[in-house]
Copies of this chain bind each other. A is one copy, B any other.
Amino acid sequence: MPMGLTADELRQLDSFVDERRRIKRGERLYAAGSTFDALFTVRLGSLKTAVLFEDGREQVTGFHMLGELIGLDGISTEAHTCSAHALEDSEVCLLPFSRLEDFSRRIPALQHHVHRLLSSEIVREQHNMLLLGTMRAEEKLASFLLDLSDRYLRRGYSASEFVLRMTREEIGSFLGLKLETVSRLFSRFQEAGLIIAQQKYIKILDANGLRQLIGPPD
């Protein structure tokens, strides 16, 4: 949480972001339906969030890495609508929401920041809707790789070389594809010289080539 706060305000904020929680790979941070009372920021590792259906089908709604905020869906009804699982051993930091509300009444810059965070999540999801609703399989996967690449870059990691933390099935669920399709596309991208994909290891050889895949079929 950056933003134009005074030193004093920052000290106040520090006072309530103390509690942390460790989650082992595969474990659940919270389940859909569980009561909401705090947001979480990722301090270490990465998580996925997913909404699920009566019949067992699930839709992955996001993959979350260092610094990202999860749990915003819980504010609305005081209960989470999605579940959150760790993709690897991870650690999150708790932000008790009612305290966050108290602080943000006192600190306008924080209040505005909270609003922007909520709104960003809406924008992110709109982007996903566009991806799910209008893109072809190839475009979806290319977008996905470029998005990951960008997020690693911002965190100071390599934009062109990284290790996926999620399975083909989870990628597929996120993109509205089956795992076999995801796998086949990785192979096709590799044959086309766009990437190297060996299981979870990914190296992007031609980011512009990936970008050009996104666009009208023609």
Contact = CB atoms under 8 A, between A and B. Distances in A.
A34 to B, nearest CB: 15
Given A101-B111, A132-B176, A176-B133, A126 B61 contact: yes
Interface residues of A, number: 48
Q: How many chain copies?
A: 2
A173 B125 contact: no
Nearest to A97: B115
A119 interface: yes
A208 B76 CA distance: 28
A74 interface: yes
A165 B54 CA distance: 30
Interface in A121-136: 121-123, 125-130, 132-134
Interface of A: 51, 53-59, 61, 72-77, 81-82, 101, 104-106, 108, 111-112, 114-116, 118-123, 125-130, 132-134, 173-176, 215-216
